Structures are given as C-alpha cells and as structure tokens.
C-alpha cells in the first residue's frame, strides 16, 4: 500500500496536504476542524502586529458560468492579537501533536522584532516558521511582505536574522511579483533558509463593475490591486516552481502553492519537486472536505503507477522541462480525427482556420479534397440551403440530420497531414476526449535541436516539410 507520509525540511508529515496561510487558517478552531477533515498541516494566517481590514476584501473571475476561476484578495495579515494566535497554536499542537503547524510571520524589518516573534512562535509550539515575504498588497506599502521579497538583499538579510534565533525549520515564502523568482530563492538560501514556499499571490485587478465603473473588490467606490490566486494561477506557479527546483544554486525543499485543488494538481507539483503542497482558494470555495479526494485520488494514482512513497516520483519531471533550444526540431506529430468519436461541432475547423494554419478542411462529403473553401464560403452555402420541418407524411424518405444519430460525413473535418504543423490547437478545442489525437509521424530524421543546428552553422535555414 502506498503511503502519503513524508518529511519536509526535517518535519514529519502525515500527508503532504497543508493549508496555506490565509483565511482558512485564521484561528485554532478552524485548523482543528481542518485536521479532522484530513489536512496534514496548516500554515497559520500570518502573525504580526494586528492590522485593520477593509470590507469588501475578495473578488473573483468567473469563466463560462463557473465561479472563481481566479480569486483576488486585499485582506491583510491576521487582525487578531499576537498572543491570541500563539495561545491557539499551543492548543492545536497539544491536541494534534502529529499534525504540522507552521507559524507564518511578518513583522517590521528590524532584527529585534524578528528575533522576538521567532522566539514567541517557537515557544508556542510551532513546528516551523514561514516568513511572509510575498504579500503583495497593503503590507508591502509599509515595507513588509513583497517589499522584502522583491529585493533579494532584504530577503537574505531578514532570513539571516531569523536564522540567528530559530530552532525550527525556516521556510521563506516567495513572491511571484518579480522578474526572476530564482533571485529571491537564491537570496533566501544565502540567508540560511531551510526551505521555500512559492508562489504567493500575483498582483491583480480582477475587474470593473460596468454599471458603476468602479473596480472590484469595491471599498466605498475604490479598490486596490490585490493578490490573485486560484486555478488560473496554477500554470504560473508550476513554471516558477520548476525554475526554482531546477536551479543549481537553490537546492532547497519547496512547499508548492498556486491553484492547487485536486490530487492531480498536487501530483504535478510533486513531479516538479515539491515536498508538500499548500491549498487556499479551493478550500475557500468548497471547504476543508476537498482533502478527502486529494488523498484518496493521489493514493489511487500512486498505486496505478507503482509508486510507494512521494519520494518515488518527486521531481521526476523537473529535468523534462528544458530550454527551447534543447527541443527536438525533427520531432513531427500530426492531428488525427477519430471519426467515430466526432460529434460534428467543427470547432477544430474554425480554430485551425482562424487560429492556426488552415490545414483542417470540410471536404469529406465532396467528390475530391478541396482545400480552397473558406469558412465564409461554407457558412454562405449553408445559409442558402432551404430547410423545412421534416413531416413523416410529406417527406417520404423521412430521414433528416436530426436526433441521436451518427455525425454526417459532411460535418467531420479532415486534417491535411502534409500541411499540419502539429500545434495541438484542434485537439485542445475538441470537446470530446480522445477524438483528436496527436500522433507521431516518422520522418526518418535523427533528433536535432536548435542549439545543435547553430553549432553546425545552420542557423537561419527555414524548416521545410519533409515528404517521405
């Protein structure tokens, strides 16, 4: 039986699922309920001198009637007194000794303030410390949060102060609001950090109310840029995690954050080297209960793949992400449409004509291939056709192209494989799984990268389609 047990920067974890420092970890009562639901750890809502919040605080992006594809917040760190948070940390740790409690910290940038808060958090029983160098709104205006994370020297210096005092592992949380996240990661490493977490939220304005012309989230007619998170940011997070994990100068354990809400998301981040994963938006949307399938699904996948522990697959994909110049220019794939699965929506056709390389055609029902008919010609032709309501008594041949029957041949697009550049777009827009597959074509050419071409002096030669 596979196990989800793991160790992160020396901290034993019953599973890799942690709640990120955010509203779901605001107080001890919440965190204990989360642990009951199956979460393995929680990073406490950032502790520091209590702040004042505004209302409202959140705003989101919906997509095709699905809620919260992306979430933005302008909430600050904990608005509760430091001693209340610390007392609750003690209580949680007393009642849940095997669960991980990480204290997220943010205080003003002086050595004494950091020493003081580190001491108090560890005395309270925290298993580790996460330094919030990422919060992009409000706190950064006061010289904290991303104001630190965006300047590698500050990041390094404060990490150093913390390390002077800390007895538990120190995790530096990185901001993505920076040109190259590796600079901040290296700075944290130089400061002595034991681990990293990334990414914090991304600077954003989610939208504007078109009735009032006011931005969201609305605070008395105004708004402020907030931190963006949720499913929409996952690709950005995956990229930054990969950049950090493949950096030879960093080499630290990383707790991944950014749009994680399912076991697949978790597996992907672990494949890029993450030690644990942190979740916020998905819990804010659906509650703590989502962790059940994250555990269950990940274990099932591990069983199917033959992985016993997270270490068995951690980082396996890191080296498969490379610079473009190392990609094989002679690898050739083409789109294949599986007729029996095609429902006839023709989205691949319009996508290829308007968004790609005009190599999908609607000519299967014609006597010969015809690649010169444009989308406008096809629409025009359809609109000029006279349709009538089929009535059994009047239409003796009866059959019409309606109801649950096979897709008419005329509606199944055809790929011109000679012209297809293998871009994937058609298979991405196709609503049916496996209906359009991208299949490798043997062009008889050995692998060759751009770098190899450059070194062989064949730089600017345009690629030509090789016919077998």
Partner 1 sequence: MSETTPFFAQAPRTPEITERFPDLHPPLNRTAAIAEANRCLYCFDAPCTGACPTHIDVPRFIKKIASGNLEGSAKTILDANILGASCSRACPVDVLCEGACVMHRYNKQPIEIAKLQRFAMDALHENGGSLPFSPGEDTGKSVALVGGGPASLACAAELRRHGIKAEIFDARPLPGGLNTYGVAEYKLPLAESLREIDLLAQLGVAFNFSVTVDDKILSDLEASHDAIFLGVGLGGIHQLGITGESLPGVQNALDYIADYKSGKVTAAPRRVAVIGAGNTAIDAANAAVRLGAADVHLIYRRGREQISAFAFEYEHAKQEGVKFLWHTTPIGILGADAVEALDLVTLEASSNGPSPPQARENFQLSIDLVILAIGQSTHTDFLKNGQIKLEGGHVLIDRVTGQTTNPKYFAGGDCTNGGREVVDAVADGKRAGIGIAAWLEGQRANT
Q: Which CB sits closer to partner 1, 431 or 457? A: 431
In the block, tokens 């006839």 appear at 344
91-100 burial code (b ≥16 CB/10 A, e <16): bbbeebeebb
Residue 297 CB, nearest distance to partner 1 (Å)?
23
Residue 38 backbone class (left: φ over 0; alpha: ψ -120 to 50; beta: rest): left
Q: Which CB sits closer to partner 1, 405 or 461? A: 405
> Nearest CA to 175 among 193, 148, 154?
148
Residue 391 CB, nearest distance to partner 1 (Å)?
6
From the number of C-beta atoms within 10 Å of its C-beta (0-12, 13-18, 19+), residue 305 rates as exposed
> Nearest CA to 44 among 28, 67, 61, 68?
28
Of 368, 392, 456, 464, which lies in the binding site for partner 1, with binding defined by CB under 8 A?
A: 392
The stretch near partner 1 (CB under 8 A) out of 71-79, 132-140, 314-322, 384-392 is 384-392
Q: Which CB sits closer to partner 1, 364 or 411? A: 411
Residue 337 CB, nearest distance to partner 1 (Å)?
14
The stretch near partner 1 (CB under 8 A) out of 99-107, 157-165, 191-199, 378-386 is 378-386
Q: Which of residues 46-85 bind partner 1 (CB under 8 A)?
A: 64-65
Among 13, 135, 229, 352, the one annotated catalytic: 135
Provide the terminal-to-terminal Cα distance of the chain, rounded to the nearest Å: 49
Q: Which CB sits closer to partner 1, 9 or 435? A: 435
345 is a site residue for partner 1 (CB under 8 A) = yes
Residue 436 CB, nearest distance to partner 1 (Å)?
14
Are the C-beta atoms of 232 and 311 separated by less than 8 Å?
no
- Distance from C-alpha of 111 to C-alpha of 45, rounded to nearest angstrom: 22
Per-residue string for binding with partner 1, 428-467, x by CB under 8 A? ---xx-----------------------------------
Q: Catalytic: 27?
A: no
Residue 214 CB, nearest distance to partner 1 (Å)?
18
- Distance from C-alpha of 312 to C-alpha of 105, rounded to nearest angstrom: 32
Of 403, 446, 457, 462, which lies in the binding site for partner 1, with binding defined by CB under 8 A?
A: 403
The stretch near partner 1 (CB under 8 A) out of 73-81, 189-197, 283-291, 340-348 is 340-348
386 is a site residue for partner 1 (CB under 8 A) = yes
Q: Which of residues 346-375 bind partner 1 (CB under 8 A)?
A: 346-347, 349-350, 362, 375
- Distance from C-alpha of 108 to C-alpha of 51, rounded to nearest angstrom: 13
Q: Which CB sits closer to partner 1, 396 or 461? A: 396
Q: Which CB sits closer to partner 1, 52 or 383? A: 383
389 is a site residue for partner 1 (CB under 8 A) = yes
The stretch near partner 1 (CB under 8 A) out of 37-45, 50-58, 98-106, 381-389 is 381-389
> Nearest CA to 183 among 159, 157, 149?
149
The stretch near partner 1 (CB under 8 A) out of 26-34, 271-279, 288-296, 403-411 is 403-411
In the block, tokens 């700075």 appear at 187
Read off the tokens for 67: 């809620």
Are the C-beta atoms of 216 and 207 separated by less than 8 Å?
yes
Please work out the total of residues on this chain that contact partner 1, with binding judged by CB under 8 A: 36
404 is a site residue for partner 1 (CB under 8 A) = yes
Residue numbers annotated as active site: 135
Binding site for partner 1 (CB under 8 A): 64-65, 343-347, 349-350, 362, 375, 378-379, 382-383, 385-394, 400-407, 411, 431-432
């Amino acid at each position: 039986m596979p196990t989800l047990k793991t160790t992160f920067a020396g901290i034993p974890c019953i599973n890799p699922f942690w709640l990120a420092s955010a509203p779901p970890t605001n107080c001890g009562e919440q965190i204990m309920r989360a642990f009951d639901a199956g979460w393995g750890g929680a990073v406490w809502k950032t502790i520091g001198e209590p702040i004042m919040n505004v209302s409202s605080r959140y705003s989101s992006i919906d997509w095709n009637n699905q809620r919260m594809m992306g979430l933005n917040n302008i909430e600050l760190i904990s608005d509760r007194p430091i001693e209340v948070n610390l007392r609750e940390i003690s209580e949680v740790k007393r009642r849940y000794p095997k669960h991980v409690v990480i204290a997220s910290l943010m205080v003003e940038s002086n050595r004494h303030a950091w020493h003081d808060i580190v001491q108090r958090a560890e005395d309270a029983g925290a298993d580790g410390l996460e330094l919030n160098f990422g919060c992009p709104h409000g706190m950064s205006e006061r010289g904290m949060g991303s104001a630190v994370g965006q300047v590698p020297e500050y990041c390094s210096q404060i990490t150093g102060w913390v390390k002077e005092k800390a007895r538990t592992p120190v995790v530096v949380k990185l901001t993505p609001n920076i040109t190259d996240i590796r600079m901040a990661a290296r700075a944290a490493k130089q400061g002595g950090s034991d681990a990293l977490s990334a990414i914090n939220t991304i600077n954003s304005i989610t939208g504007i109310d078109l009735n009032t012309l006011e931005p969201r989230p609305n605070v008395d007619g105004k708004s402020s840029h907030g931190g963006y998170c949720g499913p929409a940011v996952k690709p950005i997070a995956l990229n930054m995690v990969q950049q950090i994990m493949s950096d030879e100068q960093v080499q630290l354990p990383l707790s991944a954050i950014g749009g994680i809400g399912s076991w697949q998301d978790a597996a992907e981040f672990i494949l890029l080297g993450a030690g644990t994963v942190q979740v916020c938006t998905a819990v804010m949307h659906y509650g703590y209960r989502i962790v059940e399938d994250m555990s269950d699904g990940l274990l099932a996948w591990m069983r199917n793949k033959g992985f016993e522990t997270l270490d068995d697959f951690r980082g396996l994909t890191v080296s498969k992400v490379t610079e473009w110049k190392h990609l094989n220019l002679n690898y050739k794939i083409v789109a294949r449409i599986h007729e029996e699965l095609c429902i006839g929506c023709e989205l691949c056709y319009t996508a290829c004509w308007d968004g790609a390389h005009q190599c999908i055609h609607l000519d299967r029902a014609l006597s010969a291939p015809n690649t010169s008919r444009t989308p406008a010609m096809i629409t025009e032709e359809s609109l000029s056709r006279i349709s009538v309501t089929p009535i059994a008594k009047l239409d003796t041949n009866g059959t019409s192209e309606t109801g649950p029957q096979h897709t008419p041949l005329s509606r199944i697009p055809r790929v011109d494989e000679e012209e297809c550049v293998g871009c994937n777009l058609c298979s991405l827009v196709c609503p049916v799984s496996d209906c359009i597959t991208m299949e490798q074509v043997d062009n008889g050419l050995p692998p060759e990268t751009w770098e190899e071409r450059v070194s062989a002096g064949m730089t600017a030669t345009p690629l030509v389609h090789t016919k077998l």
